[in-house]
Amino acid sequence: MTTSLLGTSFIGYSRSAGTEPCGNAVQPGTGSKLEPAYLTATPDEVDHAMALAAAAFPVYSNLSGKNRAVFLRAITTEIETVVDDIVERGMLETALPEPRLRGETARTTGQLRMFANLIEEGSWVDARIDRADPDRKPIPKVDLRSMLRPLGPVAVFCASNFPMAYSVAGGDSASALAAGCPVIVIAHASHPGVAEIVANAVIRAAKLTHMPEGVFSVLYGGGRKVGQAVVKHPVTQAVGFTGSRAGGTALMDSAASRKQPIPVYAEMSSVNPVVILAGALERGEEALAEAFFGSLTLGVGQFCTNPGLVFLANGNGEKFLTKLKTLIEAGTPGMMLNAAICQSFADSTAAFAATPGVETLARSTAEAGPGQGAPAVFIVSISDFLKNEALQSEMFGPATLIVRGSLEEIEAAIPHLEGQLTASLHATDAELAANSSLIHALQTRAGRLIFNGFPTGVEVCNSIVHGGPFPATSDGRSTSVGTMAIFRFCRAVAWQSFPDAALPAELQEANPLGIKRIMG
């Protein structure tokens, strides 16, 4: 590996001198500690990082979209020069395979380029212009012009299950930087080395493009200590988080209890229900079972979009269940991201298996080794499912719960589900037409509806919605993937009766940037 790891935080353009250890990365399965030992940012260093971000904000937020786009593209270039180091360290820290890490790195750089294109073009600011009309009766009309402006410094928490795409330079950081907000990242203990490699790349890009110091910092020390300090700090104006419901709600509570409450955009928990109707089964039950099994076990079930809940009408799907049982029993255990996730998966599947009314349809017959999770599938009646809210819990691993009932009971149950990132419906076109109320019910519970497909595989594009009603996310009006993610870190500002020369370029009469504007 060409990158030298120091184990210290990035305080703007400087490295911290913290002395309190926060731990080493641990190799999944073996439990071996990886060097170096990482050091916790001190309270003074946290304050310094926040002061730098506060000073950087008025400079960075007033840069043109084109200048910020140069910075984002420079980050992609710098990341691409160290992709081999990311893969080498990432395989040690997470046990993820090389193709997954290379693919996730490409997704990260592609996302940065997507935001660069968005802000370079400029129309995303939603410029609106209502010209003055002094002759309007009975009251003259004033000149009003508005657009979106960045909120301020943003705290971003790295996710355990995505060392690149939801971490140092992932979607939250990319969208916040694109909006014009400095970013303070809290590194995750599962992959601190990857975080350091990427942080070095971002800092190099910031220096090369002459960004103000403080536009980016990365702090080690964990969410409970350093993370909470950043969220409570008066400089912080918004939070991006991907992780557990407990972690997300703790941040929401901290942000709400501040003297100045701030928004927390947390992606937390989703079981991504799949509804299978008779027509889809008639096309081929075994093929459907194979496709479902592939989605369930992808990434050892450690994606936020793995399907953890299936509704299957009574009297249908026996071949589907038989094939799925065969696949599960022959399924191979896989290495999970860390010991805590592995233990949580073991605990949650044991709890499901012991729940009254729940039957274990199948488990992998292969013995799971240290740190591994093995496929499992459970089955329950819809009446027992509705009696026990715990059966809506996310197992976060290669396990799912199948709920049996009549189609009428299934439709009636959907409104009782918690909020979800996705909801999938397998049906024919004729069944779609005949079940509009079912589709509407699914729409109220999820951010993305999928027809004849499965939820794994998130397309990073302009129209993607990766959000949903609580607890899928803390704010169901937002997305953490795609260009709409930029709107989380902005607020609308209006200029009334300002002279043209004093207006932002986006609102000036001549439209010097050539962007799309709403004219009143």
Are 196 and 281 contained in the same domain? no
Is residue 24 within 8 Å of residue 34, measured between CB atoms? yes
Are 376 and 409 contained in the same domain? yes
Apex 207 CA angle, 204 and 209, nearest 5: 110
Task: Given the residues 88, 196, 213, 267, select the one marked as catalytic.
Answer: 267
* Alpha-carbon span 314 to 330, nearest angstrom: 26
Is residue 503 within 8 Å of residue 145, measured between CB atoms? yes
Task: Given the residues 304, 394, 409, 411, select the one marked as catalytic.
Answer: 304
Here the tokens at position 513 are: 């940037």
Convert the pLDDT of each residue in 418-433 to its tens digit. 999 999 999 999 999 9
Are 53 and 202 contained in the same domain? yes
Are 25 and 94 contained in the same domain? yes
Convert the pLDDT of each residue in 306-365 to its tens digit. 999 999 998 889 999 999 999 999 999 999 999 999 999 999 999 999 999 999 999 999
* Alpha-carbon span 336 to 397, nearest angstrom: 8
Task: Give the domain range for residue 228.
Answer: 18-268+476-507
Are 281 and 428 contained in the same domain? yes
Q: Which helix (H) or strand (E) holds 275?
A: strand 274-276
Instruction: For residue 1, name the pLDDT band (cuts at 50, 70, 90).
Output: confident
CATH number at residue 314: 3.40.309.10
Are 173 and 118 contained in the same domain? yes
pLDDT at 392: 96
**In one letter, which amino acid is 47?**
D
Is residue 475 within 8 Å of residue 240, measured between CB atoms? no
Are 327 and 203 contained in the same domain? no
Is residue 69 within 8 Å of residue 117, measured between CB atoms? yes
Distances (CA, A) of 265 to 121, 248, 271, 477: 26, 9, 19, 10
Does 267 qualify as catalytic in the annotation?
yes
CB neighbourhood size of 253 (10 A): 11
Does 22 qualify as catalytic in the annotation?
no
Are 45 and 159 contained in the same domain? yes
CA 339 to chain centre: 22
| Total domains present in the chain | 2
| pLDDT over 80 (residue 18) | no
163 secondary structure, DSSP code: T
Are 403 and 333 contained in the same domain? yes
370 secondary structure, DSSP code: T
Model confidence, pTM? 0.96
* Alpha-carbon span 373 to 302, nearest angstrom: 10
Are 172 and 139 contained in the same domain? yes
**In one letter, which amino acid is 68?**
R
Strands (E), 19-173: 21-26, 33-39, 128-130, 144-150, 154-157
